[in-house]
Chains A and B, each alone.
Chain A
């Protein structure tokens, strides 16, 4: 399942890059369905990066500082919710600048 989610997120980011919003409704629906079966997908693009975030594998370009931001998300963070307990299913892969 993580591979399917990765592909959807990649598709989403590709469409966004081309400023194409014709698929948004369908993507929203897909995300909704993932959530309904217990997957929480986090795309931390633009967030300030902290070394304490153990849910992402960061590739730091230049010096890491308090203002370093996540500038690219190569793979999303995926959590799985089972019996009301949240578990990390996939670490995100991000570029930090």
Chain B
């Protein structure tokens, strides 16, 4: 059986739409407003129609073309004349526009043919039929009406799962932003019926905000500034206080919300009055607030008592009071009702969405009449073939871009453009000569996707174009791109070496500017010889630091510092490459509160002989080691290539030792260049191999881990594992060994925690250890292994675990060895 499922709360001031989906209720968000509510307000601006929040913008300027509160006129012959379109609009037509806009909240793929729409308990037959008609006009094929208090009771009953067997009387107390209603509902055997209702269409929570401004804030300001008549001036059209009035209202609204939770609130008034800044704090106690609003609250209590009396009931015959409407958050209301009526007052349901919530429950139980959907499908396929052309720049540096559109079909009469992040809505606009041109604002530095709707004469959506996206921040015209990556050399403490951090990627368009935040990886004391190195390198970001061209090099020594640079404090580095390829570096050391500025251009490249030497030494060690292993693997061709590099490096090193650091000839640069080329070829020769090795290691770690994960007792680690391997593909394909390495580390850490979660896992560990030959203390190791064998026999896995710990302590520390080699002066000091 197909049910209706969709429900709409068509409110006087705000409307909502929700769906029943297999027991749960989904209330749709306005795609353009973060809120679930759509203000029931429409602005007609000639060729443009604006519905909802943004229509309220025109309230002051263009009130005659704004239609709102039309629900109060439903079922009357009253119409609204709208001068800007020279047309009479009936409340039914206006309501249908709100309903169509609500349809927009629902995903495009959902087909909405049937709907439940809520109406006030006070609506008579004519008003009810008018609401139905608005539904049909909005394109619904089936409209079922439901009274709002019933919907609220349904929301309450369904969320609290109460069982009602005898007849009960419930009161639904609905106090919204602008209206107040109270209804008496008879409940029995899970059947609900509205018996009576009363209300005031001009009483709402907004009145409370005004009371705070009038009686608390304004007298406070008047006293401080010795002003008079401020309250009148605030609301006067002729004075310049309108902005101030609004600001004070916002402050009051916040204070009202705070006072619903706390006993007192401190408000901060920071406003400009007559050109002077006024800045003061004012404490408002809940007591004061309650004194202010108590007469309004009493008014509502009288309504409840009247409803009870009119139906020949006693207070004791009321079983519960259900609160809905945003204003019921105020604690005084709940307290006063409980005191006056003496029954349980329930505020457990969300007061703003209770009606649509309950209506959706109803919709979920109400069978939908079978409707021919094929017809609309046929229509859709015809519309799929609508022929149109769109023009716009896909990439732009401007914050606004023009979209031009042309269609070859007479069916579409209007269009609407929305930015998918919710930041822009053109409103519904008329097509002229089947074309439009529209400037759309863009969000800086982002890809801005748009949705374009084409609408028929009756403002029904007939086509959605979803493919428009504009990239802000990149040039469309070919600017000057960077020929190489620009990187910064930083310490890689895990691998005990330095590596490159990408600053600007190859192909980025000049000029470029970026701030990078790093932490100091070593302490540099004032006056010490230790140094901090900022080395900006042009070259492949995945390569070795020494294979790139150093285009900017700053050394900051202990003697340059006003305070000690402490390890772990922040270093802020601003790097700028101008259009003419000048490099500017600005370094700020947080712990010293000191700034270093340097500008570099090609002609004054700084090269340090020391640095060249150091780099050659580091690589030379690696080359020699690799030659050794390849020789032993009889990989002679490969080692010959490496040997050539080795000889070249040694030659360069000898040449460097022959010149002074202050040599002014270009010998230094030639040597640096030679060094770079040699290291680059070493890099090229080894990189793929290294990465292949890393990937192999990654896969090994992974399969080792998976073996353990498949065991039932380790199921709880599964989540963490999926998180780690989530971006596996990206990492493997990055060709960046540091990234792969860090993944391996994560896997290994998980492996360790799985192993350590059970003593029995140490058996395999121990068996491995038995084959290790290079323990630092062989005798001790043998003793431990013997103890381990015994423990294994006794199945004493706890002891075995400690024996394995002891054995691992005897393993040679490869990492420590490596770290020893990573001396202080070979580090940049940037972590």
Interface string of B286-318 (1 = CB under 8 A from A): 000000000000000000000000000000000
Stretch at the interface among B50-58, B667-675, B737-745, B800-808: B50-58
Decide: B250 and A93 in contact? CB cutoff 8 A: yes
Decide: A42 and B572 in contact? CB cutoff 8 A: no
**Residue count of chain B within 8 Å CB distance of chain A:** 40
CA distance A94 to B26 in the complex (A): 31
Tell me, yes or no, whether A20 is within 8 Å of chain B by CB: no
Tell me, yes or no, whether B33 is within 8 Å of chain A by CB: yes
Tell me, yes or no, whether B72 is within 8 Å of chain A by CB: no
Stretch at the interface among B241-249, B360-368, B647-655, B819-827: B241-249
Q: Looking at the complex, which one of B243, B423, B445 makes contact with A54 (CB distance below 8 Å)?
A: B423
Which residues of chain B are within 8 angstroms of A29 by Cβ–Cβ distance?
Answer: 517, 570, 572
CA distance A51 to B764 in the complex (A): 70
Interface string of B514-531 (1 = CB under 8 A from A): 010100000000000000
Tell me, yes or no, whether A9 is within 8 Å of chain B by CB: no
Decide: B34 and A64 in contact? CB cutoff 8 A: no
Interface string of B47-75 (1 = CB under 8 A from A): 00010011001101110000000000000
CA distance A42 to B442 in the complex (A): 12
Decide: A52 and B441 in contact? CB cutoff 8 A: yes
Decide: A79 and B61 in contact? CB cutoff 8 A: no
Tell me, yes or no, whether B196 is within 8 Å of chain A by CB: no
Closest A residue to B440 by CB, please name it: A52
Which residues of chain A are within 8 angstroms of B423 by Cβ–Cβ distance?
Answer: 53-55, 77, 79, 88
Decide: B58 and A86 in contact? CB cutoff 8 A: no
Decide: A79 and B517 in contact? CB cutoff 8 A: no
* Residue with the greatest number of chain A CB neighbours at <10 A, chosen from B243, B247, B270, B424: B243
Shortest distance between the CB of A57 and any CB in chain B (Å)? 7
* Contact (A52, B61) CB under 8 Å given A29-B572, A88-B34: no
Interface bracket on A: 35 or more
Which residues of chain B are within 8 angstroms of A51 by Cβ–Cβ distance?
Answer: 50, 54, 57-58, 427
Decide: B515 and A28 in contact? CB cutoff 8 A: yes
Shortest distance between the CB of A17 and any CB in chain B (Å)? 8
Tell me, yes or no, whether B446 is within 8 Å of chain A by CB: yes
Decide: B446 and A81 in contact? CB cutoff 8 A: yes
* Residue with the greatest number of chain B CB neighbours at <10 A, chosen from A55, A58, A97: A55
Decide: B441 and A53 in contact? CB cutoff 8 A: yes
Decide: A58 and B34 in contact? CB cutoff 8 A: no
Decide: A64 and B588 in contact? CB cutoff 8 A: no
CA distance A35 to B570 in the complex (A): 18
* Residue with the greatest number of chain B CB neighbours at <10 A, chosen from A71, A72, A84, A86: A86
Q: Scan residues 408-452 of chain B and give those whose CB is less than 8 A from a CB of chain A.
A: 418-427, 441, 443-448
CA distance A77 to B426 in the complex (A): 19
Q: Looking at the complex, which one of B246, B447, B515 makes contact with A32 (CB distance below 8 Å)?
A: B515
Decide: A88 and B422 in contact? CB cutoff 8 A: yes
Which residues of chain A are within 8 angstroms of B426 by Cβ–Cβ distance?
Answer: 52
Decide: B443 and A54 in contact? CB cutoff 8 A: no
Interface string of A79-97 (1 = CB under 8 A from B): 1010011111111010101
| Chain B interfacial positions (CB closer than 8 Å to A) | 32-34, 50, 53-54, 57-58, 60-62, 242-243, 246-247, 250, 270, 277, 418-427, 441, 443-448, 515, 517, 570, 572, 588
A-B pairs with the 9 shortest C-beta distances? A88-B422, A55-B423, A86-B421, A54-B32, A59-B246, A61-B243, A54-B425, A63-B61, A61-B242
Other 12 A-B pairs with CB < 8 A, given A52-B426, A88-B34, A88-B421: A29-B517, A40-B445, A52-B424, A53-B424, A58-B57, A60-B57, A60-B60, A60-B61, A64-B58, A89-B34, A91-B33, A93-B250
